[in-house]
Structure 1
C-alpha cells in the first residue's frame, strides 16, 4: 500500500513538474520513507489515545527513533509490514513496567549490544562515510548511558528493543 501510494504521488509530481530534477524512482523512495513515518506515528498515537498511554508512547517513539538514527538495525522488506510491526512494538512497549533495577539492567545490556553490533545495516541507508561509524557507535553508547542517570523505564525498554534489532544472525 505504501509503495503503491508513494508511486502514485511520485508520478503525479513528475507529471505536474516535469522539470523536477528527481526521477520518479527517487521521489517514490523519499515519499515511501515519509509515508512510512507518518503512518507509524499517526497509528501509534491514535491507539495510545484509546489506551491512555500517550506520554509513554511518545517517549518510546522518540527514544527509539533517536537511537535508530545512530545505530541502524533490522529493516523489513514491506512498508506496511514495518508500519504494523512498529505500531505493535511501540504500543506493546508502552505497557511494559520496569522497576529501577530492571531499567538499569536493560540499559546496561543495550550499551553492551551497541558496543558489539552498532552500527548495523546502515551502509546503504546513510550518506555518512564508514570512517565515521565508530563515532556513531560512541554517540549511541553515550546516549544510552544517559539513561543510567535519568532511569526512565520507557526509555530503557525502547533502547533495549532497538539494540536487539542490531543483532544479525547472518553476521
Structure 2
C-alpha cells in the first residue's frame, strides 16, 4: 500500500511541478500536452527508471518543461524525429520495468499501442507531441552499460 501511495504522490508532485513551471514560463498548454503524451506512451512502452523517486521527480519535471519551451521542430526535422521514435518503438517497445509484472501475452498489444500513438503524430504534425514521443522512445532502448543515476 505504501508503494502505491508513493507512486500516486510522486505522480502528483511531477504533474504539479511541471504545470506550475509551464504556467510560470507562459508555456502551460505545451507543457500539459507534453506531459500527457509522454505519460500515455510511457504506460504503453515502459522504459528506463531512475534509482530514486527524487531523481525521477526532478528529471521528469525538467523533461516535461524544457523541450516544449526551448525547441520548436517543423517540416523535415519533425518527420525525422517521428520516424526515429516510430522505429525505436517498433524495435524495443515494450520494455516494462521489472516491478510492473505485465504478462508477456500483453506485449504485442502494448507494442501496437506504442506504434500507433507515435504514428498518429505523422498526421497531427505537432512539435510538442513529437518531442514527447522522442524523449520517451529513448528510454525504452536497452542501453548496455547505462549510467546508474
If the length of structure 2 is used for normalisation, what is the TM-score?
0.92
Structure 2 gap segments, 5+ residues each: none
Residues 19 and 31, structure 2, Cα contact 8 Å, conserved in 1: yes
Instruction: Determine if the alignment matches structure 1 residue 98 to structure 2 residue 73.
Output: yes
Q: CA deviation at 1:123?
A: 4.4
Instruction: Determine if the alignment matches structure 1 residue 36 to structure 2 residue 10.
Output: yes
Instruction: Determine if the alignment matches structure 1 residue 57 to structure 2 residue 31.
Output: yes
Instruction: Determine if the alignment matches structure 1 residue 138 to structure 2 residue 112.
Output: yes
Q: CA deviation at 1:167?
A: 1.1
CA distance in 1, matches of 2:73, 2:42: 22
Aligned CA RMSD, in angstroms, stands at: 1.3
Higher RCO structure, 1 or 2 (CA under 8 Å, sep 6+): 2
Structure 1 gap segments, 5+ residues each: 1-26
Q: Flag the structure with larger Rg.
A: 1
* Number of matched pairs: 144
Residues 56 and 94, structure 1, Cα contact 8 Å, conserved in 2: yes
Q: CA deviation at 1:170?
A: 3.0
Instruction: Determine which of 72, 77, 87 is the counterpart of 2:61.
Output: 87
Instruction: Determine if the alignment matches structure 1 residue 72 to structure 2 residue 46.
Output: yes
Q: CA deviation at 1:104?
A: 1.3
CA distance in 2, matches of 1:29, 1:143: 29
